[in-house]
Homo-oligomer: A and B are copies of this chain.
Amino acid sequence: METVAIVGLGLVGGSFALALRKAGFDGEIFGVSSPPAIEAGLRRGAVSRGVDLAEAAAKADLIYLAQPVDRILMTIERLGPLVPRGCLVTDAGSTKMAIVKKAQEQLPPGQFLGGHPLAGKEQRGVEAADADLFSGRPYVLTPNDTLTVDTKSFKDWLGRIGAQVIEMSAETHDGTVALTSHVPQVLSTALALTLGRQRNDQLTTVFGPGLMDMTRLALSDAEVWAGILESNKANVQAGLDCVISSLHEIRNAVGRPELLNVFQSASTFAERLRKLPFKS
C-alpha cells in the first residue's frame, strides 16, 4: 500500500489519513472531496493533494470511501469504469449489504472489501479529525471469497492505527448495527421529536443529565441518517418492533412486581457492555 485516495474528507476520512500518518505511513494520500474540505485537509496535514475521482483511481492502490452511505453508492457507480486491476476499494459506510451488492454489480470482481469503523464523535468534518479516532475501537470488515486483490497490507495498517478488526458477513453486520446503532438513533430522535411537540415550557427547564444523554444522538445529521436507515430498512423496522414491544411490556408492568425483573435484566446487559475491552 503506497498511494491512498480518500473519497469524502470528513471526520472519518480525515481521521483515517491522520491515523496513517501518525502510524508512519509515508506514501502519498490524495483527497477527493469538495474544495473547502480539501483545503481544510491540507491545513490539517491529512492529505497531500486534492484530485478528482479519475486521477485517484488511476494512481492509488487503496481507494477509501468515507462518505455517507447514499453517496458511497453513487461513487461506486462512477468508480466502476475507472478502477484498474490490483487496486483495492474499501469503504467506511455505516451499512454494508447495499454497498457490497452495489460493488458486486459495478466494480471489477474481487476488488472490493466492505468496512465499518465503529468510531465517531459529535463534531463533523475534517476539522474535527483525530489520529486516534479508531484506536481501541472495533473495525468491521466484510470480506468474501471472491476477493482477488491483496488485502493484507490494508489490514496491517488497520492494526497499526489501533483498530480492533472483526470480520463478519455484511448480513450479520447490518443485523447487528440495526440494534446497536440504528434503533438507538431512532429512539433518541423519537424522544426529542415527542418532547419538541409538547406544549409545556417546563420541558426545557426541568430536566437532568439523563435527558442530555438520551437526546445526544438526536443531534445527528438528518440526511446521513436517512441514507443509513433506508439502506437497512428491514432490519431497522424489525428492531424497532422489538423495542416497541418491550416498551409496551414495561408500560404495563408499572406498579407491578414484574417491573423489577425487567429493570434488572436491562441493567445486566448495560453492565456487560461496560466490561468489554473497547474504549467507550
Contacts and interface: CB of A to CB of B under 8 A. Distances in A.
Contacts of A193: 246, 249-250, 262, 265-266, 269
Interface in A141-197: 166, 168, 172-173, 175-177, 179-181, 183-197
Contact of A200 (B175, B211, B225): B175
Nearest to A243: B194
A100 to B, nearest CB: 16
A123 to B, nearest CB: 13
A225 to B, nearest CB: 6
Q: How many copies does the complex hold?
A: 2
Interface in A206-263: 206-220, 222-223, 225-226, 229-230, 233, 236-237, 239-244, 246-251, 254-255, 259-260, 262-263
A180 B209 contact: no
A267 B218 contact: yes
Contacts of A243: 190-191, 194, 247
30 contacts: A120-B209, A137-B208, A166-B202, A166-B205, A168-B202, A175-B200, A176-B205, A179-B198, A180-B206, A181-B208, A183-B191, A187-B214, A189-B263, A189-B266, A192-B269, A193-B249, A194-B239, A194-B246, A196-B266, A198-B242, A205-B278, A212-B280, A215-B266, A215-B269, A215-B270, A222-B259, A225-B259, A226-B259, A229-B254, A237-B251
Interface of A: 118-121, 137-138, 140, 166, 168, 172-173, 175-177, 179-181, 183-198, 200, 202-220, 222-223, 225-226, 229-230, 233, 236-237, 239-244, 246-251, 254-255, 259-260, 262-274, 276, 278, 280
Nearest to A277: B205
A189 B138 contact: no
Contacts of A223: 260
B206 A138 contact: yes
B266 A218 contact: yes
A218 B269 contact: yes
Nearest to A272: B204
Nearest to A196: B269
B270 A192 contact: yes
